[in-house]
Copies of this chain bind each other. A is one copy, B any other.
Amino acid sequence: MAGDRVARAVRSAGRRPGVSGTREAILAAALRAFATSGFRGASLRAIANDAGVDPALIRHYFGDKASLFAQAVADGSGIVARMSAVLDQRGPDQGRRAIDAYLGLWEDPDNLAVIRAMIGTAMTAPEALESLRGVLLARVASRAPGGADSPGVALAASQLLGLAFARYVIQIPSVAAMPRDELLDLVAPTIDRYLALGEAPA
């Protein structure tokens, strides 16, 4: 039997040659897992398996499960900035363009994973809610014309959120199946009206 397991065998332990991108693979897998199973439901073993890696490596790189989550969300949270930046542009067809850009963000599977991870965890973990609100508000508040965070922008954001939720999460047929152009036509006036609230104040 000693002659049997010659060289490679089980590839046992030890460092691999070359660069491996393991860290990034773990973060991506973690985001997927947190998005689809929530914080508690996502298991480190499943994440490691998805990343093609030993579970102990997660501990090696990130320590805690909570730290893993924080890192994964922070890593992918550039999309939060892009989500709120969507409402920055002004102009004649600002509503149409905002909705179009916003829906585009939700249609990217990677972004969807981040969003679902944040919202899903925010629903079940108070401290995650804190950080989510913090990140969202830091952006929203920064671009208010009047200094405070503007009701118009917030209402526009609420419509966009509800729309994306209905279309991509709950998947209500009439909204999920509607052609993009038609959706834009129907919802753009709403966004335009909300955004105009901040421009003609008292």
Write the residues of chain A forming the contact surface with B, with a CB cutoff of 8 angstroms: 36-41, 116, 119-120, 122-125, 129, 132-133, 136-137, 140, 148-151, 154-155, 157-163, 165-167, 169-175, 178, 186-187, 189-190, 193-194, 197
- Which residue of chain B has its CB nearest to the CB of A186? B155
Residues of B within 8 A of A120 (CB): 38, 120, 123-124
* B172 in contact with A163 (CB, 8 Å): no
Copies in the complex: 2
Residues of B within 8 A of A38 (CB): 38, 40-41, 120, 123-124
Q: A120-B124, A155-B186, A155-B187 are in contact. List 13 more A-B contacts (CB 8 A).
A: A37-B40, A38-B38, A41-B125, A132-B170, A133-B172, A149-B173, A151-B178, A154-B172, A158-B159, A161-B162, A161-B165, A162-B163, A186-B197
Residues of B within 8 A of A150 (CB): 174
CB distance from A145 to the nearest CB of B (A): 13
14 chain-A/chain-B pairs, Cβ below 8 angstroms: A37-B40, A38-B123, A38-B124, A41-B125, A120-B123, A123-B169, A133-B171, A151-B175, A154-B172, A155-B166, A157-B162, A158-B162, A159-B190, A161-B162
- Which residue of chain B has its CB nearest to the CB of A40? B41
* A163 in contact with B169 (CB, 8 Å): no
* B172 in contact with A166 (CB, 8 Å): no
Q: How far is the CA of A86 from the CA of B190 in the complex (A)?
A: 20
- Which residue of chain B has its CB nearest to the CB of A115? B123
* B132 in contact with A123 (CB, 8 Å): no
CB distance from A201 to the nearest CB of B (A): 13
Q: Take A41-B38, A123-B120 as given contacts and tell me if A149 and B174 are in contact as well, using a CB distance cutoff of 8 Å.
A: yes
